[in-house]
Amino acid sequence: MYCFGGCWYFFILVFVIVYGAETTNIAIDVNRNLTILCPIHRTRDVMWIRELPKELLQPHSIVLDNGSLFISQVNQNDSGIYSCSRENVVNSDVKARVNVTIRTPPPALVNVTVRPSTILALLLWEVNGTGGYPIINFTAQFRLAYTNSSWIPISPNHITPNSRQIEVYKLVPNTTYEFRIWATNQLGRGAIKEAHGTTLGVYKEEELARHMLEGADKFDTRVWAVAVGIVMGTLVLLGLGICFLLYQECRIPGVVEEQEIIELVPNIILNPGFDPCSQNESIP
């Protein structure tokens, strides 16, 4: 009875390892050593295979005496799903799977383009993964194309990780420049991506006049006449309004004087000695 219970417990344990809903996940930094334990069998009688991508183990991978898989100085090509099983068991479906992820510096940016103007250019890019760690910043530089001149940093030196474009100033018109940009995480600088762009030339006076007069032959004079009529009508209305206000302003003092005369007449009739200029003095 005890053996039956113990055997049943062992069967359930193997079932969880093999047919469990989740595969064991392991993440490790690049150039580190990795040891993967096999939970099925702890002896050298273990077979390790790489299921995804399906290929042979790398030369720097060996099976230890306890059945563990040892990978020295892992690189990005070591990422994938590994499985272990007993080697000398016929038709054995008992396997344990481990998903190995290698954390690296950020990969090269994608869709790096340059939109140049006469004396400035707009550098745009997109992110194609972070390498396993969040991106800390971007760094961009430029120089004259097809030369060995020094790279000039684009301000700011550390571009914020949520930026996807930056403007480059103080360029020379009609000149080809070379730009490069990369991302950085806690493992270091990622792959560099380069792009070229040529600034626009400065227009001459003849070219500027031609651009200013472009489409003049298609201009409708009726539109111009309507616009001039609207402007002239607005000016006339403003002039009339100003004249009316000045007229009202001139009439206000006259009305005040008439009111003062009307108030003085009764005082003079009732008091013949009334002096409006010295109201505080009494006249006998």
pLDDT tens, 78-111? Answer: 999 998 888 776 555 668 889 999 999 999 999 9
- C-alpha–C-alpha distance, residues 37 and 34, integer Å: 10
What are the contacts of 13-20 at 24+ separation with CB within 8 A?
14/40, 14/94, 17/94, 17/96, 18/93, 18/94, 18/95, 18/96
Residue 16: the pLDDT is: 35
Q: Phi then psi for 151, rounded to 5 degrees?
A: -75, 135
Residue 89 near residue 64, CB atoms below 8 Å? no
Q: Which residue has the tokens 């892992």?
A: 74
Q: Which residue has the tokens 């626009």?
A: 200
Residue 268's pLDDT band, with cuts at 50, 70 and 90, is low
pTM value? 0.60
Q: Any idea which of 48-57, 94-103, 246-255 has the lowest mean pLDDT?
A: 246-255
- C-alpha–C-alpha distance, residues 178 and 151, integer Å: 9
pLDDT surpassing 80 at residue 206 = no
CATH 3.40.1350.10 is the classification of domain 2-103? no
Rounded mean pLDDT, 189-202 = 93
Residue 226: the pLDDT is: 87
Which CATH superfamily includes the segment(s) 110-205? Answer: Immunoglobulins (2.60.40.10)
pLDDT surpassing 50 at residue 11 = no
What is the domain partition of the chain in residue ranges? 2-103, 110-205, 220-265
Which pair of tokens denotes residue 93? 């479906």
Question: Is it true that 2-103 and 110-205 share their CATH fold?
Answer: yes
Indicate the burial class of 104 (C-beta count within 10 angstroms; 0-12, 13-18, 19 or more). Answer: buried
